[in-house]
Structure 1
Amino acid sequence: MVKGVVGEETRLNSLESRLTKSALPSEVGLAIGKFSSALDRVFLFDLIPTPPNDSGEPASSIAHSDNKKTAAKSKTPVPDSLFIDQDWVAEHARHVSRMLVGGVKVVGVYVWLGDAAFKNSTITLCQTVKGVAEAAATVDWGERLLLHISYSPRRWNCRSCSLSPNITSGSLRPCDFKLGKVLSSIQTFKCMHNFDLRVPIFRDSAAKYQTFSDVLRHAISVHAKELTGAKALIDGKLVVDNEPCSSDGVHEIELLIPILSNSSVEACSQKDVVGILSFSGSLCSFAYLNSKEPISQAITDLKGDIITSLQSRLDIISDEADGDSGNNYDVERQVSDDIPAEKPVSQLVLQLLRKGYSLPFPRRVFALWLAGAYVCDYLQPSETVEVLKDHCMELLSMEAPTDVSTIFEPEKEVISFATKSFWDVAVPATETYLMGDKSKLDGRGESGAKSVKPGHINVVAAGLILILAILVGFLLFFLKG
């Protein structure tokens, strides 16, 4: 449960000034911040407006009441209500959540609206908050924030919205809100994480997961379990307590996974396995910590960011491949005749592949955002950092990075095995058996003849050594007598 919310005063005051000058009747957007389970508090970093939809229409508008007869009968003016394109706001949240790094999440929704219209639109706002939470799906607490910036009268109100199945106006609960210096006190943690997962591919009768997407999601979930028990080194020292980190600068984190914790190696019979999926590489992760939070929170955020990053890359590949099934990233496909040529990559059935198949994953690049904090994006091998610049402007309403030094590409140097995580399907076991049996049959007579000779030579040598030992023994016995 959220007990309090602290917003970055420079960012929120700047937003209020912009909205006041714009004289917009309404605006809706995303609240970006960090939920601290140790402090039961949310730290708001920024508020990002949802851009116009593909038709150029704003994500929110005021629905005015034109029914004069109803107003005359009630003798009171019918209050205005708020219309929100909830699907578009949720889609915005889905894309923005991919650009945020460890610990920084979409924590709710903000709305610029008059007080009367707000009171008449609480259910709509709660439904919007719930849709955003489901689209982002990155924070494991059962509530989100609804920040109301009222221009009539001028004030800020923060409420916590419970994500219950049945959304009502009673789902909103007042929340303590204040402005402060949030960004100046955050600390940065960086981790270059190496991973190497090998998951067996089973026959149809024994397979729980068959398609490329399902098998790889299973491999990622397996690695998530491995990371749960991983120890951490911070700046070369083992993290053993929950004391706050007082030193400044970027802290280097190394995760130590126990050697025998590879749960991806399942007990199985060789006859059930037709191949192997190899998923390996090296990725970069960042996490940010408030000065009052324990170091363990940064470690948890880094572990979560690693898994989220892998899942985001898989989602990007699946989304784009499903949207253009004939392209499939120009990857050479070697499949059986049972698989249609237009089948998307994410739906490839691994049991039907007859030769090795590899697919590069997008690489993660970073751009400076606020107070030295980074946001990220994922680029395909053919894409440049111009894609990152466009996404920063469109999705985060920030100025496009013009200085190359503000763009960080840590995974570029290890692109051959880090940003391109390869999975290979081995030759089916039945073919291996046939090849082995054939080689045995072809060389049975010749190898059989040769196999007798070494054994015969060993017996003769042993006999000669035994006779020589007996003779030496008799000789020593007579000389001693």
Structure 2
Amino acid sequence: MVKTVVGEEIRLQLAEDHLAQSAIPAQVGLVIGKLNSKLDKGFIFDLVPTPANDDGDPPCSIIEPQKPEKKKGASKSRSFADSSLFIDGDWVAEHARQVSRLLLGGVKVVGVYVWAGETVFKQSTLALCQTVKGVADAVPFVENDLDEMLLLHISYSPRRWTCRNCSLSSNITASSLRPCDFKMGRVFNSLQTFRCIYNVYLRLPISRASLSTTKMLNDVLMDGISTLTKELKSAKAIVDGNLVDVTTDKLCTSTNVHEVELLLPPMKDASLEANSQKDVVGILVYSGAVCSYSYLNSKESVSQAVADIKEDIIISLRSRLDMISDEAERQITVSSEDVSETNIEMLKVESVYQITRQPLRKQCILPFPRRVFIPWLAGTFICDYLLPTETFEALKDHFVELLSMEAPEDVSTFVQPENEHPSLAAKSFWDAAAPLYKSLDSAQNESRSREIAKKGDSRKSTAGSFNAAFAGLVLLIAVIFGSLFYAKSSR
């Protein structure tokens, strides 16, 4: 459990000054940073306020108590001390889900902050704990071992910062909060940067049964990503040319960007295993390069950076899949505006199955979003995903809305290591699932050709030898007859 939390002094002080100048009575938002259970420490990078909802209402406000009617002999009405916070927990959780897509390996939404008076905060601990629990459920994690998040309180009456650890037990109560030792410092000064480019190649068999059931395209892809997750767990890592050994793991002190290479063990090809299944009708092939960054505190070991990168690769693939699904749903909504209710489900099925329902001998390719990296704080990056039809202008609005940051003016500062869009292709089973058999057939054909060529060369060689012997015999006979004729003439 995290016992000590260090916040980036420059960013948190800037946030406090902004809140004090705004004179708003209450605000809620997200805490961005890292939690390390091995060190029992947390690191806060920045605070991001949750924007107003679609109706323009703030996600957090103060609820004034209703004053009872005065009667003879009745006690005085309740004071302002009984006021509490109203928090739109669902909207804060949705904000956390979308912000999580923009964060890189190791950096996550690690909690919730609230700007409110001390007395109002005390009256709202249960609502705040439930909000933290909702955020934890919305934030993607590869492992289901997240059992704590932070609740940061910025009080303006009196002015002070307090941090609490919120236990994510099944029964959230006020007792779920535990105080943490909170202090401000220079978190960014000690960060180490790690980078990895991992080439993903997934071949997923599509059975005839899956086409006739409710199993959707994203379900098939999610199964493939889950398989990749298990494989990445056992992958060895090379950092700056050196194999990472968990038993002798060391801290990293260099300030350069560290290059990480993942080495996967030999694995079975699911498409070849499916070769024997009679009901397999096609193959989904997902391929592309995934670029990942990870940021490591000076007190964290290199193996932590490798674990963060592995998790980031999986979360990035899931995020792209979610974006494709969201885009498909949006297209369905647009297409079905003028369509009767009866045909909506048919449109949905056709949209989701648009690849798997293609003729088996026809290949169909669906580009996936490409990851783009944008400069953030103190040399770090955040990311976003660019659909093939989108431009950088769409990304600018995204950052302003979700992270309350100024729109980047110069797009040349954007880093695009994934030059080509990762793609999903549908192929026939024999075209994609069993290239081994194709290669065997071609090898056999080539072997036959070589044998035929050898036989032909052998025949040619035999014929050539016979012709040479025959010519020599004729020449010998001619010489003998010539000698006899010469001898008779001389007599």
Report the equivalent of 1:472: none
Q: 1:10 to 1:264 in 2, by over 3 A?
A: farther
Identical residues among aligned pairs (%): 55
Report the equivalent of 2:470: none
Report the equivalent of 1:238: 243
Distance 1:123 1:70 in 2: 30
- After superposition, give the CA deviation of every residue in 1:450-472 in whole Å (9 maximum; x if it has no partner): xxxx9xx99xx9xx9xxxxxxxx
- After superposition, give the CA deviation of every residue in 1:187-208 in whole Å (9 maximum; x if it has no partner): 1111111121112222318999
Report the equivalent of 2:83: 80
Range moving further from structure 2, 354-363 or 169-178: 354-363
Partner amino acid, structure 2, of 1:175: C
Report the equivalent of 1:228: 233
Q: 1:209 to 1:304 in 2, by over 3 A?
A: farther
**SS of 1:204 mapped into structure 2:** helix
- 1:250: Cα distance to partner? 0.9
Report the equivalent of 2:116: 113
Distance 1:273 1:22 in 2: 62
Report the equivalent of 1:158: 163
Computed over aligned residues only, the root mean square deviation of the Cα atoms, in angstroms, reads 2.8
**SS of 1:359 mapped into structure 2:** strand
Mapping of 1:10-409 within 5 angstroms? 10-69=10-69, 73=75, 76-77=78-79, 79-138=82-141, 140-204=145-209, 210-240=215-245, 241-260=248-267, 262=269, 266=273, 269-325=276-332, 340-343=346-349, 345-346=351-352, 350=356, 354=360, 355-409=362-416
Distance 1:208 1:398 in 2: 45
Q: 1:427 to 1:289 in 2, by over 3 A?
A: closer
Distance 2:192 2:357 in 1: 47
Q: 1:263 to 1:157 in 2, by over 3 A?
A: farther
- 1:343: Cα distance to partner? 3.0
Distance 2:47 2:210 in 1: 51
Q: 1:266 to 1:143 in 2, by over 3 A?
A: farther
Distance 2:157 2:347 in 1: 60
Distance 2:15 2:424 in 1: 44
Q: 1:349 to 1:296 in 2, by over 3 A?
A: same
Q: 1:126 to 1:422 in 2, by over 3 A?
A: same
Distance 1:60 1:99 in 2: 23
Partner amino acid, structure 1, of 2:346: P
Distance 2:384 2:283 in 1: 30
Q: 1:327 to 1:362 in 2, by over 3 A?
A: farther
- 1:73: Cα distance to partner? 3.0
Q: 1:229 to 1:25 in 2, by over 3 A?
A: same
Distance 2:232 2:213 in 1: 23
- After superposition, give the CA deviation of every residue in 1:136-174 in whole Å (9 maximum; x if it has no partner): 133742111100001111111111111122221111111
Distance 1:302 1:262 in 2: 24
Distance 2:126 2:237 in 1: 44
Report the equivalent of 2:428: 426
- 1:381: Cα distance to partner? 0.6
- 1:27: Cα distance to partner? 0.5
- After superposition, give the CA deviation of every residue in 1:315-359 in whole Å (9 maximum; x if it has no partner): 01101211222779xxxxxxxxxx934536446694786443321
Distance 1:20 1:265 in 2: 63
Report the equivalent of 2:480: none
- 1:76: Cα distance to partner? 4.6
- 1:282: Cα distance to partner? 0.6
Range moving further from structure 2, 100-109 or 176-185: 176-185
The count of aligned residue pairs is 420
Contact 2:67 2:78 in 1 (8 A): no
**SS of 1:164 mapped into structure 2:** coil
Distance 2:9 2:55 in 1: 34
Distance 1:192 1:226 in 2: 16
Partner amino acid, structure 1, of 2:259: E
Report the equivalent of 2:449: none
Structure showing greater radius of gyration is 2
- 1:183: Cα distance to partner? 0.9
In structure 1, runs of 5+ residues without a counterpart are: 329-338, 433-453, 465-481
Distance 1:120 1:102 in 2: 36
Partner amino acid, structure 2, of 1:154: R
Report the equivalent of 1:2: 2
**SS of 2:425 mapped into structure 1:** coil
Contact 1:81 1:117 in 2 (8 A): yes
Taking structure 1 as the reference length, the TM-score comes to 0.81
Contact 2:355 2:426 in 1 (8 A): no
Partner amino acid, structure 1, of 2:139: A
In structure 2, runs of 5+ residues without a counterpart are: 336-344, 435-451, 463-491
- 1:304: Cα distance to partner? 0.4
Distance 1:189 1:264 in 2: 33
- 1:74: Cα distance to partner? 5.5
Range moving further from structure 2, 302-311 or 355-364: 355-364
